[in-house]
Structure 1
Amino acid sequence: MVPAIPRRLLFVNYSLEMGGIETLLLELSRAMMAGERYRPGVCVFEAGGKLQKEFEAIDVPVHVIQKQRSRDYLLPFRLRGLIRREGYDLVHAHNQVAWLYGGLGALFAGRPLIYTEHTSLEKFQTARQKHLKTALRLLGRKTGLVTTVARHLIPSLEQDIGIPSARIRNIYNGIDPGPYHIDIDREQKLRELGLPLDSRVVGIVASLTEAKDHATLLRAFAGVLQQVPEARLLIVGEGPLEAGMRQLADTLAIAGHVHFLGVRRDIPELLQLFDVFTLSSLIEGLPISLLEAMASACPVVATRIPGVDELVSEEAGILVPHSSSGQQAAALVRVLTEDGLAERLGQGGRDRVLQQFSFDAMIRGYLSCYDDVLRGTER
């Protein structure tokens, strides 16, 4: 039996910048703080993340251990000190770099370890992939359980990292649909953003990185404007490619219709404003922003890639090949102009979230993993 609770759980992630993993950790922490079984803390390798204050506001301690550039051989030992000093019973690492450093820290501290794979190693350059695979194959032998946010991530863990299937569980990202089922004053929101009242709004919520491929979306939107001249593209998020995307919008002569909003905390309101939500990603795990859009009954146009195709059914959205600006533009125009299509897809997406991607099921899945790993160490 797992002894008297609460037990102390340490999440390890690279940062607390705005993103899908960070949002997931915040919601997991909120749920745990409302219960009695676990008390979470968070350790990150970069200071100043935009979500740090939100963790602190719900009394979840945030520990920053600044990572040195390139390889930081002392970081696992500093993590070991934190884990022992603060009395954490269990470590849960998220994505590969946190698994490497957080996992070693947990093992050096003699604490059990759980790892969650959110995206595959494909996001790294080939040489980095090779080094990580070698290190993680060794670390994987000592990891109590590995979870994935989408089933397409499982084969790589089995084949490349050598994790036995018996130690892998898929736990789909889940979402509480309540905050996304709201009414807004559309005209007021448009005025707040400085948009014309007749705007047809295409929106994306994604970091401006290569994996999200905003360049293809901008080219697609140029095609949308030829048929829907009142269209506006709202880009929510920030990242290293923002300056380049602004320049591309200028080059395509669409800058007057493209609005870079940066990081926002009014996502539920924006999703109600969007006439269509879109993703142009090349690689994903199971995107939280897409779940949020579907929970908002916002119709979806996204790329047909692993993870997205597990989430979006034919009733919930339109999937197009990645890197195809022409097909993405055609799908966006369909949703903006075809009678009844947007409403039908939006309702289909919300129904799918309610039926298959519930927040409660996700929470139960993770709590079950923690209980099982702790039982295994206490036999």
Structure 2
Amino acid sequence: MKRSKVLQLQPDYNVKSHDFADLAEQIVRALPREHYEITAAFLRGRPGPGEPVSKADHSVYFEFSDKSLKGMRLRAMWALYKFCRKEQFDVVICNRFKPVNMMLQLNRWLKIPLCVGISHGFGEYDRFYRRSQAKRLIDKHWRFVGVSPAVKQYLLDCQCGFTVANTYAITNAIDIEQAEALQLPRQQAREKLGLDQDARMIGALGRLVPIKGHRFLLQAFAALKDKYPNAQLAIIGAGREESRLREQIGQLGLDGRAHLLGFQENALQYVRAFDIWTMPSLAEGLGLALLEGMSGHLPVIASNVPAMLPLIEGAGGLAVKPSDVATLTAALDEYLALSDDALRAKGEQAFRYLQQNHDIEVFRQEYLDLIDSGLRQARKEHP
């Protein structure tokens, strides 16, 4: 039997050496090779020497410049059109807005039987012209996936071609077994990060950008630093806010108590260095870092944004208002006041929730079902 040809299109090369949370690679794993021949394509970037490549059958790197992917994108569109026409794909899976938008326009002529567009967050269709374009171009070939029920609802609320019949929620997941195997024991993780072995350690992981809310976390911690002299805070990540956050640490009197650890390769290996996991983001599509904290058996504190609230509540964690220092301070206070045993019990509760609701096998099966059923329907309509 001839294998169906699948193109998975991504905006940037970003294949990880460990794919526990690389959801594009997990989709590749979901499709049986005896039925599907998969090509991974990246609009920008390519791996350097020794860097990982996709587990797909083929990898293609268009290496478009940033400039060529702005505006009308005519040269990039023509190159993508010629490639797809030559390869005659049966399925194209588009990750994030730009690939979805390009294929919405091109599939008017390509007529690929099944196109799947994956939305990772909110705001992609806030602009009127984007909604009107989507309404004009979405047809029976298309299925759409939100990475959480909240993102699915955002798409439906746009009222521009996303319907209950063509739009799904497939919740992000991680390979829990692989994640746990990567994690260093507590003492070793703290040694490698240069953290105090005896401190009650609050942790956060994320880019140092305003939307991640780290400045509010620092303010909340500062309000408790005298009440809990054994507590410390550490943030893994790099970004444009680093110098501002360092300045804030000095102003709040947190030198030696709050640590910016910078970018760390395979940051998940360090998750067990912490006692409490925080995610004070102002907005998220579905915060994978929250699931990563749960995989380390840690209790969680996170913003009650729509995509994360069901996760926090399910995990028995503490939900706080975004950018609200008072509620974040109260949540930190509640967990810091617990005994070690009580805090560990909260972490085990979060881990059980993760196992039951965000297992990677369920994620893979839902994508396989979506693609199998979409292809069957397309072939029924065009035998």
User: Per the shorter chain, which TM-score range?
Assistant: 0.7 to 0.9
Q: Give 1:232 shift.
A: 3.2
Query: Is the CA contact (8 Å cut-off) linking 1:234 and 1:261 kept in structure 2?
Result: no
Pair 1:9 & 2:6 matched: yes
Query: Aligned in 2, Cα 1:294/1:186: closer, same or farther, shift over 3 Å?
Result: closer
Counterpart residue number, 2:369: 368
Give the Cα–Cα distance (whole angstroms) in 2 for the partners of residues 225 and 333 of structure 1: 10
Query: Is the CA contact (8 Å cut-off) linking 1:201 and 1:274 kept in structure 2?
Result: yes
Counterpart residue number, 1:55: 53
Query: Is the CA contact (8 Å cut-off) linking 1:286 and 1:311 kept in structure 2?
Result: no
Aligned counterparts, 1:141-290, within 5 A: 141=139, 143-160=141-158, 161-182=160-181, 184-256=184-256, 257-267=258-268, 269-290=269-290
SS of 1:54 mapped into structure 2: coil
Which deviates more from structure 2 when the two are superposed, residues 271-280 or residues 149-158?
149-158
Structure 1: unaligned runs, 5 residues or longer: none
Q: Give 1:35 shift.
A: 4.5
Q: Give 1:299 shift.
A: 0.8
Counterpart residue number, 2:35: 37
Counterpart residue number, 1:348: 349
Counterpart residue number, 2:118: 116
Q: Which amino acid aligns with 2:171?
A: Y
Give the Cα–Cα distance (whole angstroms) in 1 for the partners of residues 216 and 210 of structure 2: 11
Give the Cα–Cα distance (whole angstroms) in 2 for the partners of residues 143 and 218 of structure 1: 48
Give the Cα–Cα distance (whole angstroms) in 2 for the partners of residues 43 and 22 of structure 1: 19
Query: Is the CA contact (8 Å cut-off) linking 1:315 and 1:344 kept in structure 2?
Result: no
Give the Cα–Cα distance (whole angstroms) in 2 for the partners of residues 166 and 96 of structure 1: 20
SS of 2:367 mapped into structure 1: helix
Give the Cα–Cα distance (whole angstroms) in 2 for the partners of residues 30 and 255 of structure 1: 45
Give the Cα–Cα distance (whole angstroms) in 1 for the partners of residues 197 and 20 of structure 2: 34
Query: Is the CA contact (8 Å cut-off) linking 2:7 and 2:39 kept in structure 1?
Result: yes
> What does the per-residue CA deviation read over 1:310-351, in whole Å, with 9 as the maximum and x for residues that have no partner?
212265311111111232123123223312432222111111
Identify the structure with the greater helix proportion. 1
Query: Aligned in 2, Cα 1:203/1:90: closer, same or farther, shift over 3 Å?
Result: same
Counterpart residue number, 1:321: 321
Q: Which amino acid aligns with 1:346?
A: G
> What does the per-residue CA deviation read over 1:28-76, in whole Å, with 9 as the maximum and x for residues that have no partner?
33444x75333433333331579x9333477651423424433142122
Query: Is the CA contact (8 Å cut-off) linking 1:145 and 1:168 kept in structure 2?
Result: yes
Pair 1:66 & 2:64 matched: yes
Q: Which amino acid aligns with 1:177?
A: I
Cα-Cα RMSD:
3.0
Which deviates more from structure 2 when the two are superposed, residues 101-110 or residues 257-266?
101-110
Query: Is the CA contact (8 Å cut-off) linking 1:277 and 1:293 kept in structure 2?
Result: yes
How many residue pairs align between the two structures? Answer: 370
Q: Give 1:142 shift.
A: 5.3
Which deviates more from structure 2 when the two are superposed, residues 76-85 or residues 53-62?
53-62
What TM-score do you get using the length of structure 1 for normalisation?
0.86
Q: Give 1:97 shift.
A: 2.4
Query: Is the CA contact (8 Å cut-off) linking 2:201 and 2:232 kept in structure 1?
Result: yes
Query: Is the CA contact (8 Å cut-off) linking 2:216 and 2:324 kept in structure 1?
Result: yes
SS of 1:79 mapped into structure 2: helix
Structure 2: unaligned runs, 5 residues or longer: none
Query: Aligned in 2, Cα 1:181/1:223: closer, same or farther, shift over 3 Å?
Result: same
> What does the per-residue CA deviation read over 1:212-253, in whole Å, with 9 as the maximum and x for residues that have no partner?
222212222322423333333332233343343333334334
Give the Cα–Cα distance (whole angstroms) in 2 for the partners of residues 355 and 240 of structure 1: 37
Q: Give 1:87 shift.
A: 4.5
Give the Cα–Cα distance (whole angstroms) in 1 for the partners of residues 254 and 14 of structure 2: 29
Query: Is the CA contact (8 Å cut-off) linking 1:43 and 1:65 kept in structure 2?
Result: no
Query: Aligned in 2, Cα 1:22/1:173: closer, same or farther, shift over 3 Å?
Result: closer
Give the Cα–Cα distance (whole angstroms) in 1 for the partners of residues 21 and 134 of structure 2: 22
Q: Give 1:294 shift.
A: 1.5
Give the Cα–Cα distance (whole angstroms) in 1 for the partners of residues 161 and 56 of structure 2: 38
Q: Give 1:85 shift.
A: 3.7
Query: Is the CA contact (8 Å cut-off) linking 1:93 and 1:103 kept in structure 2?
Result: no
Pair 1:296 & 2:296 matched: yes
> What does the per-residue CA deviation read over 1:128-147, in whole Å, with 9 as the maximum and x for residues that have no partner?
x2332222222333552111
